[in-house]
Amino acid sequence: MKKGNGKLRANFSEYPFSQNSLLSFSPYEPFMLNATEPLSGLVINFHPDFFCIHKHHKEVACHGVLFNNIYAPPLINIDKGTEGNIEMIISQIQIELQKPALAQYELLISYLKIFLITASRLKTEQQADAQKVTAENEEPFILQNLKNYIETHYKTKHTASDYADMLSITPKALTKLTKVHYHKTLTDLISERIIIEAKRELYLTNKNIKEIAYELGYNDEYYFSRFFKKNTEVSPQLYRETIGFDKASSL
């Protein structure tokens, strides 16, 4: 986002944004921009078949940072020191796209990797700085435990009360904490973690939807499909057909 400001609605939450912001979204991640003035920006849009962040997360470190992070806003501020580097990378991508040549795919992948690594580093730094602002706003220890519990049990425990019981706190009190620190309800956090794994399975494997649903703790395939569509606005089958997956590497 090069010019303008407003509010971003995404992942059940609302965040302010301004010029020199970078917004990052996964395929079929609903979002809305409510602008207070005219916007000017640029979109880098790539399909997982071109470069899959799930497969290459160790190379670029953007999975769980720029994308699929249920605890942080999907945006970062581009500082002056990084702005020039990003502009240069984007310029090289644009030049390369205009004139197909030898090893174009490999070169575009390289530029994209540099872009993602640069953005991931910046977001990681900003998150670390934000956590040091004041002791009053430090993430409570109970939320650190909550994140660990969600990561460990999201396939078998799907309700807010499940996690509240494990932490010996009421669901209402725990949700109040998650809304203050993550701008999301506890139910939202659980749902998003399940959806991230469902998308990964739909893209990277050739398991049928019933099997994926069962592995995520849903005995009813149709209930799972309704849950998926409610959170992504598309069915699991349409997601798979549209985004695609590499059967050869899954066998």
Q: What is the CATH number of the domain that holds 232?
A: 1.10.10.60
Find the domain containing 155 and state its range: 139-250
Tokens 């917004």 -> residue: 23
Q: Which residues contact 155 (CB under 8 A, 6 or more apart)?
A: 194, 197, 215, 216, 217
Long-range contacts of 53-59 (CB under 8 A, 24+ apart): 53/116, 54/200, 54/203, 54/204, 55/204, 56/113, 59/113
Same structural domain, 115 and 146: no
Average pLDDT over residues 43-72: 88
CA distance 154 to 142: 17
Same structural domain, 187 and 207: yes
Average pLDDT over residues 11-26: 90
Same structural domain, 11 and 115: yes
Same structural domain, 127 and 50: yes
Q: Is residue 246 part of a domain?
A: yes
* Tokens standing for residue 206: 């050739």
For residue 247, the model assigns a pLDDT of: 42
Q: At 66, which amino acid appears?
A: L
* Tokens standing for residue 101: 């040549």
Q: Which residue among 131, 160, 189 closes a domain?
A: 131
- Tens of pLDDT along 133-153? 534 456 789 999 999 999 999
CA distance 146 to 169: 11
For residue 131, the model assigns a pLDDT of: 61
The secondary structure of residue 6, as a DSSP letter, is E
For the cut 60, the answer to whether the pLDDT of residue 129 exceeds it is: yes
Same structural domain, 100 and 151: no
Tokens 């409610």 -> residue: 230
Q: Is residue 1 part of a domain?
A: no
Kindly calculate the radius of gyration of the chain based on its CA atoms and give it in whole angstroms: 19
Same structural domain, 123 and 21: yes
Q: Which helix (H) or strand (E) holds 182?
A: helix 171-182
For residue 134, the model assigns a pLDDT of: 39
For residue 189, the model assigns a pLDDT of: 96
Same structural domain, 127 and 16: yes
- The full DSSP string for 20-45 is SEEE---TT--EEEEESS--B-----
For the cut 80, the answer to whether the pLDDT of residue 89 exceeds it is: yes
Q: Is residue 238 part of a domain?
A: yes
Same structural domain, 25 and 126: yes
Q: How far is CA 17 from CA 6, 12, 106, 108, in A?
A: 6, 16, 33, 28
Q: Is residue 148 part of a domain?
A: yes
Same structural domain, 96 and 192: no
- pLDDT-derived band at 48 (thresholds 50, 70, 90) equals confident
For the cut 60, the answer to whether the pLDDT of residue 235 exceeds it is: yes
- Tens of pLDDT along 22-42? 999 988 888 899 998 899 999
- Tens of pLDDT along 183-230? 899 999 999 999 999 999 999 899 999 999 999 999 999 999 999 999
Q: Is residue 40 part of a domain?
A: yes
Task: For helices 221-232 and 186-204, give the axis angle rounded to 10 degrees.
Answer: 110
* Tokens standing for residue 52: 């899959």
Q: Which residue among 93, 114, 131 closes a domain?
A: 131
CA distance 128 to 17: 19
* Tokens standing for residue 165: 């019981």
Is there a contact between 94 and 105 (Cβ–Cβ < 8 Å)? no
Q: Is residue 14 part of a domain?
A: yes
Q: Is residue 50 part of a domain?
A: yes
Same structural domain, 122 and 154: no
Same structural domain, 121 and 46: yes
Same structural domain, 145 and 218: yes
- pLDDT-derived band at 246 (thresholds 50, 70, 90) equals very low
CA distance 28 to 44: 15
For the cut 70, the answer to whether the pLDDT of residue 249 exceeds it is: no
Q: Is residue 72 part of a domain?
A: yes
- The count of domains in the chain is 2
- Tens of pLDDT along 72-88? 899 999 998 899 999 99
Distance of alpha carbon 195 from the chain centroid: 10
Q: Which residue among 131, 149, 179 closes a domain?
A: 131
